[in-house]
Amino acid sequence: MKPTAPPYKKAAIILLWLLAWQAASLSVDNSIIMVGPMEVINALWNQAAMPGFWKTIFSSFGKISLGFLLAFWTGILTGGAACRFPLFKDFLEPLMSLIKSVPVASFVILALIWVGSGNLSVFIAFLVVFPIIYINTMAGFTSTDPKLLEMARTFHMQGGKKLFYIYRPALMPYLISGCRVALGMGWKSGVAAEVIGVPNHSIGEKLYMAKIYLSTADLFAWTLVIIVVSALFEKFFLWLLSLAETGRKSHKNRRYDPWN
């Protein structure tokens, strides 16, 4: 394991960056171009006092998280099916290439026509996350030790136990690695879609209005909200995946014979 920096060192580094940020704000001396950390905190405090603050956060969180979760399970299922059926993999290959190559902005404009602004962030988050999970799922399944699979066939191991004891350990490192990227990409693309579509009661709408009124402090404040919410969701979801990697809690302190 990599050694982690002690808490006081991390705090000192963060403090230095905040001081640099404040110094840059003072040197520019223009609240439209650059604001300091205290102005951002004050703007965030004012936003939090408004009645629609938490409704906005939960609305965007629910839609982007829904898009991510749909892409997560769909990516696992289709990735597993593509490994099991090569023809299905060949069938999906042009679609995956298209999704990975077409700019998100183009998809956002098309999605505005197809699903409207209300469900735009769900669709875009799904579209960005899906190929990442799909590719990592295939990589995980194909990395399974063939000797273990041969042993499972020899002893007629049941499909469910084979999935849990052989495929799961091979898949989870790739899935966790993919989710580290997909979680951040899902939030970035989802909020970007909201900025373009401007649905009601969304973080993207608040960012757009901050741009319209040249309120840089509000822009930074909502950006800070995005960072905090996405980081909390990422840590929680990766924690759930770490539990799945080591096995369910009910399996934790028991010895299992996977062949029976």
Amino acid at 196: I
Q: Look at residue 29 and give its three-state secondary structure.
A: coil
Ordered by where they begin, the domains of the chain are 34-247 (1.10.3720.10)
> DSSP E strands: which ranges in 5-132?
none
pLDDT band for position 31 (50/70/90)? confident
Instruction: Kindly tell me the sign of the dihedral angle through the C-alpha atoms of 232, 233, 234, 235.
Output: positive
What residues have CB less than 8 Å from 107, skipping those under 6 apart?
124, 127
Distance CA 127, CA 99 (A): 7
Look up residue 146 and give its DSSP letter.
Answer: H
pLDDT band for position 5 (50/70/90)? low
pLDDT band for position 156 (50/70/90)? confident
For the stretch 62-88, pLDDT in tens is 999 999 999 999 999 999 999 889 899
